[in-house]
Chains A and B, each alone.
Chain A
Amino acid sequence: MNLALNERENIFTVDVSGRIEFNDVDSFEAYLKALTARGITRIILDMSQVESVVSGSLGTLMKLADDLEAHGGRLVVLNPNVKVLSVFRRMGLDEVFRICDVEEEARRVVLS
């Protein structure tokens, strides 16, 4: 799994790529925690380049969404592939954070 932070017009986007595995959980969590520790509460997670996820690793996203919401912010997941999306849906994560297909929509939702 690779992570890269981008800032476009005051919105932070984390580009995630590769596979999200069990052993990525700690570094993924630390990375996201570091962002929230700096007061960044509106985050788009661009998952268009994520090939697959291990479902047990997704608690990190659940916690992040809750933490951001508690601080008046929001997590939006952008454009996961069909396989990843089906895991999100099966586990009910689409109820925990919003999933958008296109960046414009994600930007609008994350600011709402």
Chain B
Amino acid sequence: MKSWNIPKIREWVAAKMAQAPSWRVIAIDTQWLCPLCGQVGAIFKNEERLTDLIIVHLTEKCSIFKSGQTNAPYTSEALGAKKIYIEIKHAVVNDALFQQRDKGRKWYCPYCMKQTEVSIPEDGKLAPLTIDEIHRHVVSCYGYDHGKGSPKTLVELKQTISEQDRMQETIDHVRNMMASSPVWRVKSHDGHWVCPHCRQVLRSIDVSSNILMCQTAPYPIAEHLIENCAAYKQHSVAAETAGEMEKIVTLDGPKAEPAPRGSVSDELLASLKTELDAVRNQVGKDSDLQKNLEEARKKQLRMLPDLPKIPGYDFEVIYKPCSHVAGDLYDFIKVSENEIGILMGDVSGHGVDAALVMSLARKVFQMQAKGRSSPWDTLVTSNMEIHPDLDGKTFITTAYGVLNTKTKMLNFARAGHNPLIIFNEKRDPQILLSEPKGMAVGMDKGPRFAAGLEEVDVQLQSGDMMLWYTDGVSETRGKGDAEFGIEGILEVVKKYAKLDAKVLLHMCELARTEFQVGDQDDDVTIIAIRVE
């Protein structure tokens, strides 16, 4: 048996641990990976004992070390990949969050919250091959994002799976009904599906051919039933005869043959009664909805941030939702002792949907902004958090700046938002438009967003007036469909920006509303900040 110079090895290991990153790769906080053989070399609870355990590994188990080789063939990157595998395997075996599957036994990823192709056995026991499949998904998963992403919570994942299960059950139900009942196969004269519950012709669901009807249509039909069909949700009785459905088709289109007279009137009357009942119920619901929207509006207004009170600065804001609830957002976030984050965002669309996204986004921005002086960092990380929760057609134009209130330096980035206007009559030129490039938040999952986002530094000075605004201001429509535009805003700025922030906002809103023809059709938010 070989005799080892243990003190010398200890010294050598200590030096390696201090200098080489590949000697410091530790998985699940307890497993040291050996850079010579690439295996788990030591499992430790107390880090003080780690060096002892490494020496035991090297002198007793590591074939590479025992053969006399001391140059580590495994780089820290290579061991990093192993570490990820070990950690995913550990999570899959020990963490309920990584063990969720739907009724079809398909595994759900806690990072992207999507159903995967990985099938989990009935008994839940995972074979090495299944773990490999899960590992393959996770390392390429955009939600995991090379270890930078965070998993969602167990509650959120279970909720997603439950919704997916419900959707799948409804699709199966639709397929069964289509196979067994002619009522479910009725189409309008131009080939669109007619819902037997709400008796509506659904123009977005094409069933003009058998292939479309059997293969493509069940998914949008299930979507309609779950999300939009009030009659289905209220468990109203579906039409029972194809004849009843044919009458709807007759009413809908010119090409359908007129229904025979005979029994039409009774059935039509019954159908109309059902429809009227549904309308009446809906009116009652609309009234409830109005009350709920009013409540939501009050809550949203209560949640608006207070204006910062910082010596040397004057903050003012105008916030006017166009419907009950708004998709515009603004916030003032304490980044550090001397830094304040100024955030403005505009969710595409407006009303309840936009307001929900707005609330989510505001919370994410608040969390990501803490301690980050760089708007680029905050916007990139926020975008990664927000993107998976959007529907692919919703985005948030965002302007975000971090103002150091001591040095008056503003770091500013713009993700698809309007330019920041800075006016000072002592500057030459008096108006500065800050327009760094960047795509709107939510358009891209990360790489394109990060690559295209620019950050600029603006040294503010005494007398500067900053104006931040959303599209609702610049896209206000006037006579002959003219837009108020940035030109309209700048006109007001030139006249009133030398006054205080409150006056400027008042004059800006006055000019905008005087320009406007018809109702306000978008949320309006303007922030003015004066540097004293």
Contacts and interface: CB of A to CB of B under 8 A. Distances in A.
A72 interface: no
A29 B438 CA distance: 25
B393 A60 contact: yes
Nearest to A37: B206
Q: Which of B212, B395, B417, B521 has the most CB of A within 10 A?
A: B395
Q: Which of B350, B393, B448 has the most CB of A within 10 A?
A: B393
Nearest to A54: B475
Contact of A59 (B216, B350, B395, B438): B395
A55 to B, nearest CB: 5
Contacts of B417: 90
B204 interface: yes
Given A29-B393, A55-B397, A95-B448, 6 more contacts: A22-B522, A33-B204, A52-B483, A91-B397, A95-B439, A95-B452
Interface string B200-212: 0001101000001
B170 interface: no
B471 A56 contact: yes
B521 A22 contact: yes
A66 B443 CA distance: 10
A40 to B, nearest CB: 12
Q: Which of A21, A56, A59 has the most CB of B within 10 A?
A: A56
B481 A56 contact: no
Interface string A15-49: 00001011001000110011001100000000000
Interface residues on B, range: 35 or more
Given A19-B481, A22-B521, A33-B204, A92 B349 contact: no
A5 to B, nearest CB: 15
Contacts of B521: 21-22
Interface of A: 19, 21-22, 25, 29-30, 33-34, 37-38, 51-52, 54-60, 62-63, 66-67, 90-93, 95-96
Contacts of B349: 22, 25, 56, 59
Nearest to B414: A90
B404 interface: no
B331 interface: no
A55 B438 contact: no
B119 interface: no
A56 B204 contact: no
A25 B394 CA distance: 12
9 contacts: A25-B349, A30-B203, A37-B216, A56-B327, A92-B415, A93-B439, A93-B443, A95-B444, A96-B443
A62 B440 CA distance: 11
A55 B448 CA distance: 20
A48 B173 CA distance: 46
Contacts of A29: 393
Contacts of A96: 439, 443-444
A92 B522 contact: no
B395 A90 contact: no
B395 A91 contact: yes
B418 interface: yes
A22 B350 contact: yes
Contacts of A90: 397, 416-418
B348 A56 contact: yes
Nearest to B208: A38
Contacts of A62: 392-393, 395, 443
A59 B394 contact: yes
B346 interface: yes
A12 to B, nearest CB: 16
Q: Which of B212, B327, B346, B444 has the most CB of A within 10 A?
A: B444
A59 B471 contact: no
Contacts of B212: 37
Q: Which of A21, A52, A91 has the most CB of B within 10 A?
A: A91
B206 A92 contact: no
Given A56-B348, A62-B392, A66-B392, A92 B440 contact: yes
B252 to A, nearest CB: 16
Contacts of A91: 395, 397, 416, 439-440, 443
B439 A58 contact: no
A30 B440 CA distance: 24
Contact of B350 (A21, A37, A51, A56): A56
A96 B395 CA distance: 13
Contacts of B216: 37
A36 B521 CA distance: 30
Nearest to A91: B416
Contacts of A58: 348
A34 to B, nearest CB: 7
A64 B181 CA distance: 34
Contacts of A59: 348-349, 392-395
B329 to A, nearest CB: 14
Nearest to B523: A56
A52 B393 contact: no
A34 B204 contact: yes
Nearest to B482: A52
Given A62-B395, A62-B443, A95-B439, A57 B348 contact: yes
